[in-house]
Amino acid sequence: MNLARSVLPILALLVAGAAMAADYDAFIGSYEGEVVITDDARESKRDLSVDIKEIDEGFQVNWSTTTRQSDGKEKTKSYSIDFVPSDREHIYRSAMKKNLFGGREPLDPMKGDPYVWAHIENGTLIVNALIINEQGGYEMQTYERTIVADGLKLKFNRIRDGEPLREIEAMLTRTDG
């Protein structure tokens, strides 16, 4: 009986730890793909890459988009955001800056910075970025990343003041085996 009392709490901790890691563990990896975008009868090709890795307190999402125009010009944008658990299950707050005490916290949307958070729902890692503009309006960007047999399905939406501006869907192949 004493053995059971001492083993049960250890087993409970192991199960809880495994469940917590399993929340985002399936998304850990590197992925690449491309998509063709048509704007005003102009076509551009975008190379997409996403790297999701575990960090000390949570996970980090790194992604870049290289736009290639038909005239050969290229433009790359890259982003990296750390996410740490919030007090709510399956919801992660961004940890994009350090506070006075060395803790990591989200940026301030009232200063024009994006407020970013992530959550996992039905096997999809959803990253949201809310931006409040100078006029008090907003832009919302949503990246939905779903693990599929061949890699990662990406769906991106951008909305400004309730009006859809862009939707992109792409398939990214796992590159890290």
Of 101, 98, 105, 102, the residue nearest 84 (C-alpha)? 105
Residue with tokens 């809880």: 16
Residue 166 carries which side chain, given as an amino acid letter?
R
Domains, in order of start, for the chain:
2-174 (2.40.128)
Three-point CA angle 86, 90, 95, nearest 5°:
40
- Amino acid 138: pLDDT: 95
Of 32, 67, 34, the residue nearest 51 (C-alpha)? 32
- Amino acid 101: pLDDT: 54
Contacts 24+ apart (CB under 8 A), 97-106: 104/57
Please state, in angstroms and as integers, the Cα–Cα distance from residue 40 to each residue in 11, 43, 44, 77, following that order: 59, 8, 11, 22
Which two tokens mark 73? 């010009």
- Amino acid 115: pLDDT: 87
- Amino acid 2: pLDDT: 56
- Amino acid 18: pLDDT: 43
H helix runs in the chain, sequence order: 2-25
Q: pLDDT below 70 — which residues of the chain?
A: 1-22, 96-107, 109-110
What are 9-60's pLDDT values in tens digits?
Answer: 444 444 444 444 448 999 999 999 999 888 777 777 899 999 999 998 899 9
